[in-house]
Amino acid sequence: MRRPTLSITLSLTLAAACVFAGGCFRSKADVAKKAAPAKPVPPAIDYATIRPNELGFIPVVMYHEIGGKPVRRDPSLVRPVEAFKKDLELLYAAGFRPVNLSDVLEDNIDVPPGTSPVVLTFDDGRESQFRLIETATAYKVDPNSAMGILQAFSKQHPDWKMRATFFVLPKSNSTLEVFGQPGLGKEKLEYLLTQGMEIGNHSIHHRSMRRMTPAQIQAEIGGAHNLLMEAAPNARITAVALPMGVYPDKKNWPYLTKGTFQGKSYEYKAAMQAAWRPVPSPAAKEFDSMQLERISPADGTNGLRYWITKMTQSGEYPRYVSDGDAKVVSFPKGDEGRADIARLEGRQKLVYAYGDGGAGGGSKPIVSEADEGNTSPAPAGTAAPAVSAKPIVGG
């Protein structure tokens, strides 16, 4: 009788071990079932009170210079320090909380239920946005620069996260240095990232792209991208802000977000215009990542306070109100036609339209139409109208 070979012995041993352990061989369906992530469910919030609307509009505020006197021809270009501080106080008191632009582009908005997202953007990489003061042992963030003001505000209000998007002009022969101070640009970019901020592309020379060829557009955007990535390799750039908000010929728009320069490629999710209106929700059909507008911080019509007031009122521009769960898109029933269902399903989102009473129930009793307005006592021998003292919960 032949003795079993070593390979047969090992096979029999492994098979026995598998049986003892519960089986080593599973069907593809079993593997898929085990690996499938849990499906999102509506958050456990009081919808009747919070009334989330994640199809609403989001303010993207455009800042340039922080500090100094406003320019008469365009007051929005210079925001005095005290005015910038009041902007933050206005937003916070109105229930807005900051997110990065990439959070909006990727529909990954994470703010507490009942609050609304706001995106703060800063163009040009100006020194007043991020100034450092040298001490004997370190570089201190200037408390009157945008970064210093934001850090102090976040410390005072811990639920105001350090989030903002800086569209910078990279260090080049034209711009000399990011954020002005020679020799500190690279360190500033890296510091921004550690603080939770993000970097955006604003081209190299800040020139109008109206008549640029595809090669010129790629040199402006791709050239800036290469320099920024060289200075801050950990940056994840997702958008370009067009200088002056000027677009090239429409047939050349694809080069704004995707192209190649000097053998290196760039690929973004959005192109930003200059100011005037808030942007639609990324869950809405009207969201157009190639034409995202921003609003001016200036006082008066179409300024920040004007839009915050307008968005808080019911009307053409309802504000985005979060349900607190980035995996679920909640909005009032009846607005389903505005939701981009295909896009949301592709992102594994749960689309949840809730009714007038809210999914979480309210404190009001249930009465029939016949009972409304009837305050007389019930006839003798009949039961009183059924009014529940307990809240209504889902089944």
- In percent, the amount of the chain with pLDDT more than 70 equals 81
Whole-number Å distance between alpha carbons of 326 and 349: 8
Q: What is the 3-state secondary structure (H, E, C) of the chain?
A: CCCCCHHHHHHHHHHHHHHHHCCCCCCHHHHHHHHCCCCCCCCCCCHHHHCCECCCEECEEEECEECCCCECCEHHHEECHHHHHHHHHHHHHCCEEECCHHHHHCCCCCCCCCCEEEEEEEEECCHHHCCEEECCCCEEECCCCHHHHHHHHHHHCCCCCCCCEEEECCCCCCCCCCCCCCCCHHHHHHHHHHCCCEEEECCCCCCCCCCCCHHHHHHHHHHHHHHHHHHCCCCCCCEEECHHHCCCCHHHCHHHHEEEECCEEEECCEEEEEECCCECCCCECCCCCCCEEEECCCCCCCCHHHHHHHHHCCCCCCECECCCCCCEEEEECCCHHHECHHHHHHCCCEEEEECCCCCCCCCCCCCCCCCCCCCCCCCCCCCCCCCCCCCCCCC
Q: Which two tokens stand for residue 366?
A: 């249930």
Whole-number Å distance between alpha carbons of 170 and 125: 8
Amino acid at 181: Q
pLDDT at 76: 82
Residue pLDDT, tens place only, 226-273? 999 999 999 999 999 999 999 999 999 999 999 999 999 999 999 999
Q: What are phi and psi of 88, to 5 degrees?
A: -65, -40
For the domain covering 56-326, report its CATH number. Answer: 3.20.20.370
pLDDT at 357: 60
Q: How confident is the model at residue 36 (pLDDT cuts 50, 70, 90)?
A: low
C-alpha angle 241-242-243 in degrees, rounded to nearest 5? 115
**Would you list the domain boundaries of the chain?**
56-326
Amino acid at 182: P
Query: pTM of this prediction?
Result: 0.82
Give how far the C-alpha of residue 20 lies from the chain's centroid of Cα atoms, to the nearest Å: 51
pLDDT at 356: 75
Angle between helices 185-194 and 214-231 (to 10 degrees): 80
pLDDT at 106: 96
pLDDT at 375: 44
